[in-house]
Amino acid sequence: MSLSGNDWFWRRVSVVCLSLISLAVGCVKSASPPENSPKNIGSSVSSGTAKVAGSPVVDGAAERLINIEGSSTVYLISQAFVNEFEKIETHKVSLGRSGTGGGYKKFVLRQADIWNASRPIAQKEIDELKEKGIEWLELEVGIDGLSIAVNPGNDWCQGLSVADLQKLWQPDSKIAKWSDLNPSWPDQSIQLFGADTDSGTFEYFTEVIVGKKGSSRTDYTPSSDDNILIQGVSGNKFALGYIPYGYCQENRDKVKVIAVSPTKDPSASPASFVMPTTETILSGEYAPLSRPLFEYANREALNRPEVVKFLNYSISDAAQPLVAKRGFIRITDATRAEMNQRLATAILSAASTKPK
């Protein structure tokens, strides 16, 4: 594949930059040149990384386990990364999916080197990490279009507006049956499924749909395991749930995704209904349920070459197609270049502050 002048320039600069990085922290995969002022690195200094047991020697260097925890949404993407990473590297990865909130709890206790999150880090988390002396790095690794899924047997509802979804999911909701949303729809109870309260998906959905993070009706079936949500919706003709796009794509024979209109005013005629697709999610037309997906790394872990290798891999040319393979949307080339620059800067910073 031929390179444009700009691509060639950055490729050459990346080689020079990584030659310097290799001298400081060992051999790592290619990354783009650093920025002078990285945007999303915490301000305090970490005093430790996740402790792991058993460090077999490989080529004279200790092989250490890479610990990753967090979002069940990002889990699908990370699982694909890990499967391919372990084919080309001797290092092993422990990957969990306790939810964005559950992953953060392990990250702040230094029990995870990398925290997967389906929403941006919260200010209270930034404050707590600073208090604990943990510096962090944010990398965007994919994009999701949180989907409204119904049973394949549902032949009456082809789309809902944000106003409809708000009426359905708000804490004091009076919507119990499909006919409560539309008199022409079945006089049958809606069986609801969604993320549990420890999930970043729950926080994101309630904020953009209900209008307040964490504000939701409670009479629904919650789970941090999106496969359980798929099973629930697929097993009841009158079910509805909000489920990450990738899981819906992998289970197209079990659930049906409906379109969403961004109209919030219940008294207004709904604007155009939009189906989540690669194009509409990436463009933001599928609003407001398009969202970025993240990896957060403990900055001190960047002194470990195996962690650097995994992070580099996750935003590489080789890994990004895996995002699409798992049903999500890969980040744009511009975003990937920014992530490479951000990571390269953080690596150099970690190397310069590493204790002698």
In the predicted model, residues of the chain with pLDDT beneath 70 are: 1-63, 355-356
* Cβ atoms 331, 74 nearer than 8 A: no
The per-residue pLDDT for range 22-60, each reduced to its tens digit, is 434 443 333 333 333 333 434 333 333 333 333 333 343
Q: Which pLDDT score, from 0 to 100, does residue 64 have?
A: 79
Q: Which pLDDT score, from 0 to 100, does residue 44 have?
A: 31
Q: Is 331 helix (H, G, I), strand (E, B) or coil?
A: coil
Q: Which pLDDT score, from 0 to 100, does residue 57 have?
A: 36
Structure tokens at 151: 């049973």
Q: Which pLDDT score, from 0 to 100, does residue 250 have?
A: 94
Q: Which pLDDT score, from 0 to 100, does residue 59 have?
A: 40
- pTM (global) more than 0.85: no
Give CATH 3.40.190.10 domain extents, the chain: 5-143+292-353, 147-288
Fold of 147-288: D-Maltodextrin-Binding Protein; domain 2 (3.40.190)
Q: Which pLDDT score, from 0 to 100, does residue 351 have?
A: 83
Q: Which pLDDT score, from 0 to 100, does residue 63 have?
A: 54
Cα–Cα dist 208/197, whole Å:
15
Across the strands, what pairs with 115? Answer: 69, 296
Residue with tokens 């990957």: 95
Cα–Cα dist 152/163, whole Å:
23
For the segment(s) 5-143+292-353, the CATH number from 3.30.420.40, 3.40.50.1000, 3.20.20.30, 3.40.190.10 is: 3.40.190.10
